[in-house]
Amino acid sequence: MDRTFVGTPASPGIVVGPVHLLRWEVPEVRHRIVGDEAIPEEIERLHNAFAAAKDRLRHVRARTAEHAGPEEAAIFDAQIAMLEDETLLAEVESNIRQNYGAEKAFDLVMLEHRQHFARHAQAMLRERVGDLTDVHIRVLSLLLGLPDHDPVDVPKGAHAILVTHDLTPSLTVQLDRDAIVGIATDAGTRTSHVAILARSLGLPAVLGLRDATSRLTGTERVVLDGSVGVLVVNPTEAEIEEYRRRAHSEAEELAELRQFATAEPITRDGVRITIFANVDLPEEADSAAGSGAEGVGLMRTEFLVVGRAVNPDEDEQYRAYARVVDAFGGRPVVIRTFDVGGDKLPASGYPTEANPFLGWRAIRMCLDEAEFFKVQLRALLRAALHGDVRIMLPLVVTLDEVRQVRTLLSEARSELALRGAKFRPDVPLGVMVETPAAAMAADTFAAEVDFFSIGTNDLVQYTLAVDRGNANLASRFTPLHPAVLRLIQRTCEVAVAADLELCVCGEMASEPLMAFALIGLGLRQLSVAPRSVALVKRVITTVRAEAAASAATEALAAPTAAVAEQGLRRRFIAEFGDAPFLRDRVAGGLAGSFVS
Ligand code: PEP
Ligand code: MG
């Protein structure tokens, strides 16, 4: 077997550890008929499996409460309740009495329930499917004597590498950092939210390995190199030593780069660029504030709700936002309203959709669920008293949405005033430009918004019709495609004409070559991963805006992303010199880059 698996470098860092293979899928069940005399024994097996599953769930619940808090742990209550449901037990027993083996009897009942719930008219019941599936997998694994692959229940101190087909952002935020030191998945790309989160958590990750879960057995040790994107299976001592050396020199490079963190980002020909940080979790606030960023260009708030059984109330949200605003002490903090949907699904509370990325996500969901949304708006208006808060709306496609938000904002203000709560009434409101609709029609928003921010992760996805999380399409995810560059240019022209602030907060801004292109296109604000602040500042202080502009003009005229990239690379090297992160890049995609 080839011991080196190659995937996408999704979050930098090198770690060594045992594999924790997570196959969280419903196992195949053979049809098994039992004789009448075996029926009592099968029923007893069923009861024992239910009892063992409940024990496991209580254990997982307690562990989750310990490292993620009581609200996260409450997710498991619904599953425990299912296992205590007498009717469910009676249905399975009835199948056993018709001579089905316990596992088949249980499998049939669960399949029926899952189908029934998935089609239910009530969203609340449809949302139970995820819990049913978890119970289905857990009990069947016990009945079939399969190894226990529990998503979040890895012993502390295991320092394991989690290998799984795909991870949800909700599961990622729940991971116990003392147990899991790295992530490897078959699916996913650099711009999928699991990758973005892994970078925020500082958890090395290699995604897009395609078939790692079927090639590994779970007994191996691996080196995971999240900077290059490889997994080395059962490494020799010499290989481990080599990777340790690499990890050390990476740490040194990073330390060397730190001197640029405090640099003023001015190009050699005197153009001032503002560098903000993206913050995904409130806990990141202090480290992001110390990264050299001049504020927050994007705070992703949806990670406060994904994976939660109960949504955070106004006070909890207020504290989370205020924590970030306080950490940045008066510097601007752009807080984006909940962008749930797509690949960021709450554990419960979201209907299944055929096309989630084109579905009921982000501002669409918030506008339809006005009471839920107003809790966030009230918390934001209160947190705005702590500093320079700006509210940003995701996935906007029409001005109507902005107008509806303004109505809800004025309701939120009245509600706060009625209660005598303190808040700032005049918080700036901006929109993300992350659909071709918003970019083409940017002028229609200009008079009614305070700023724009380009979300290139989604803009590329929606412009090129390339799923941002699909590993098979990673090389087609090309931010330098002429259509994308033209949409960015158009947005820039509208912002300049309307004298509105414009930032880019997608992953593109964190990439040296792309940052160079963006400055060339006229961008004067970039919001990047905190880890990339120093690097992007180094790029800015080394290049000339004039050279970037002529490189961007050339890229805009290129027929393909690959040609655009070649030209940009040549121009960039002429300005910056050669650098390790410029080699090994594949044409297009954010696939082969060195930094996050
Ligand atoms: C984007 O789409 O570029 C963006 C910044 O938002 P997110 O990655 O959270 O969708
Ligand atoms: Mg987006």
Query: In the structure, which protein residues have their CB atom closer than 6 angstroms to any atom of ligand 1?
Result: 298, 300, 339, 434, 455-458, 505-506
State how far the Cα of 99 lies from the Cα of 88, in Å rounded to an integer.
17
Q: Which ligand is nearest to the CA of 454?
A: 1
**Residue 457 alpha carbon, nearest atom of ligand 1:** 3
Question: Which residues lie below 8 Å from residue 63, measured CB to CB, with a gap of 6+?
Answer: 152, 153, 176
**Residues shown for the chain:** 596
What is the model's pLDDT at position 591?
Answer: 34
What is the model's pLDDT at position 594?
Answer: 29
Q: Report yes or no: 404 and 367 within 8 Å, Cβ to Cβ.
A: yes
- Antiparallel, parallel or unpaired: β 221-225 and 205-207: unpaired
What is the model's pLDDT at position 117?
Answer: 76
458 alpha carbon – ligand 1 mean position (Å): 6
**Residue 278 alpha carbon, nearest atom of ligand 1:** 5
| Helix (H/G/I), strand (E/B), else coil: 142 | helix
550 alpha carbon – ligand 2 mean position (Å): 29
Q: Which ligand is nearest to the CA of 191?
A: 1
529 alpha carbon – ligand 2 mean position (Å): 14
457 alpha carbon – ligand 2 mean position (Å): 6
Question: Which residues lie below 8 Å from residue 210, measured CB to CB, with a gap of 6+?
Answer: 7, 186, 471, 472
Which candidate, 577, 575, 579, 555, places its Cα nearest to that of 567?
A: 555
What is the model's pLDDT at position 498?
Answer: 98
State how far the Cα of 233 lies from the Cα of 211, in Å rounded to an integer.
14
The pick from 196, 199, 300, 532 for probing ligand 1's pocket by mutation, whose C-beta has the most ligand atoms within 8 angstroms, reads 300
Mean pLDDT for each 10-residue chunk of the chain (596 residues)? 89 94 84 93 96 89 73 77 93 95 95 79 65 88 79 80 84 80 92 84 92 93 95 96 92 90 97 97 92 97 79 94 97 96 66 84 94 97 98 98 98 98 98 98 98 98 95 93 98 98 97 96 97 95 98 98 96 86 42 31
**Residue 191 alpha carbon, nearest atom of ligand 1:** 8
506 alpha carbon – ligand 1 mean position (Å): 5
What is the model's pLDDT at position 125?
Answer: 66
Residue type, 412: A
What is the model's pLDDT at position 166?
Answer: 85
Tell me which residue has its CA closest to atom 6 in ligand 1: 455
What is the model's pLDDT at position 588?
Answer: 33
121 alpha carbon – ligand 2 mean position (Å): 29
Question: Which residues lie below 8 Å from residue 268, measured CB to CB, with a gap of 6+?
Answer: 541, 542, 543, 544
Q: Which ligand is nearest to the CA of 505?
A: 1
What is the model's pLDDT at position 307?
Answer: 64
Q: Report yes or no: 160 and 154 within 8 Å, Cβ to Cβ.
A: yes
Which candidate, 291, 293, 429, 306, places its Cα nearest to that of 361?
A: 306
**Residue 302 alpha carbon, nearest atom of ligand 1:** 9
What is the model's pLDDT at position 579?
Answer: 72
394 alpha carbon – ligand 2 mean position (Å): 7
Tell me which residue has its CA closest to atom 9 in ligand 1: 300
HEC assignment per residue over 411-424? HHHHHHHHHCCCCC
Give the number of other CB atoms < 10 A from CB of residue 8: 25
Which candidate, 589, 318, 338, places its Cα nearest to that of 476?
A: 589
Q: Which ligand is nearest to the CA of 529?
A: 1
The pick from 194, 505, 510, 514 for probing ligand 1's pocket by mutation, whose C-beta has the most ligand atoms within 8 angstroms, reads 505
Instruction: List residues bridging with 341 in a β-sheet.
Output: 344
Cα distances (Å, whole numbers) of residue 486 to 405, 436, 447, 464, 553 = 29, 10, 22, 13, 10
Q: Which residues are catalytic?
A: 193, 505
Q: Which two tokens stand for residue 525?
A: 């604000």
**Residue 342 alpha carbon, nearest atom of ligand 1:** 10
